[in-house]
Amino acid sequence: MIASNNDAVVEDLKTLLKSEFKIKDLGPARFFLELEIARSSKGIFVCQRKYAMNLLEAGFLGCKPSNVPMDPNLHLTKDMGTRWTNPKSYRELIGRMFYLTITRPDITFVVHQLSQFISAPTDIHLQAAHKVLRYIKGNTCQGLMYAADTKLCINAFADADWGACRDTRRSVSGFCSYLGHSLISWRSKKQHVASRSNIESEYRSMAQATCEIIWIQQLLKDLHVKVTFPAKLFCDNKSALHIAMNPVFHERTKHIEIDCHTVRDQLKAGTLKTFHVHSENQHADILTKPLQPGPFYHLLQRLSLSNLYLPNQTL
């Protein structure tokens, strides 16, 4: 696959490759590494419909769909349930699900949760994995939409669920980054250390999102894409925002000093601005905890996800 904003350079590269190798030009990318790509004047749509259907072929093509990928009342631990007799099948299933998260941020949290138990899975963990398959059954064609008319500005949302892990009491961080209205990166990950307060866990998540913003800014610079506006970072915890803005707070947060300076340095440089957002509009909430159907689909609509195969959606 060749990507460039200069057609002449692309043609020169093709000519060079043809002179050295036996290759065939297949035209614009439509199917690449299990990614299905569709283009129009409105933008680019990327999904993994065929890969999702193959994932369901192990007895789930005729199952009843689930409206959410994970039971909101289920708190997974390593000792719950009975040890599964065939852990290899569980590991293979989770590994295949991981690849599906390339275009499916809606299942990222639960897949990362289930991956923590691949060394010794139980029947409860397997049932939770099967619920993800039943959720995928209901929307196999869902994918990411990259709009052609979006503004070139970086927006990010950072959130954390304090002490979410029942085994280690570590918090779960989640963030998602947008280029304009198009979702370009997201992550759900357990923090490396246990946080002593909700504020600390939220601020660590802000620091991780800031590092991602720095990386995106540098990548766009390397691609000669000019972004004129400072990046925006949204958080629903006002105390964590005060830590970023007020250096006086550093005396009481020495144990997270490095994370403090990571965000503050970007604020001082003018490349980042922080804003408060209400919890119900916190996009990263879907990456930190299982949600009830109402809040889940409310946030899902705010992500740049779409289904090209629905009658009311056209590309």
Using one digit for the tens of pLDDT, what is the confidence trace for 125-137? Answer: 999 999 999 999 8
Q: Which helix (H) or strand (E) holds 157?
A: strand 154-161
- For the chain, residues classed under CATH 3.30.420.10 are 150-287
Q: Is the pLDDT of residue 315 over 50?
A: no
Work out the pLDDT band at 168, boundaries 50, 70, 90: confident
Mean pLDDT score across all residues of the chain: 87
Using one digit for the tens of pLDDT, what is the confidence trace for 177-201? Answer: 999 889 999 999 998 888 888 888 8
CATH for 150-287 is 3.30.420.10
Give the integer Cα–Cα distance in Å for 182 and 177.
8
The two structure tokens encoding residue 88: 């290899």
Orientation of helix 257-269 relative to helix 238-245, angle to 10°: 70
Q: Is the pLDDT of residue 311 over 70?
A: no
Q: Is the pLDDT of residue 142 over 70?
A: yes
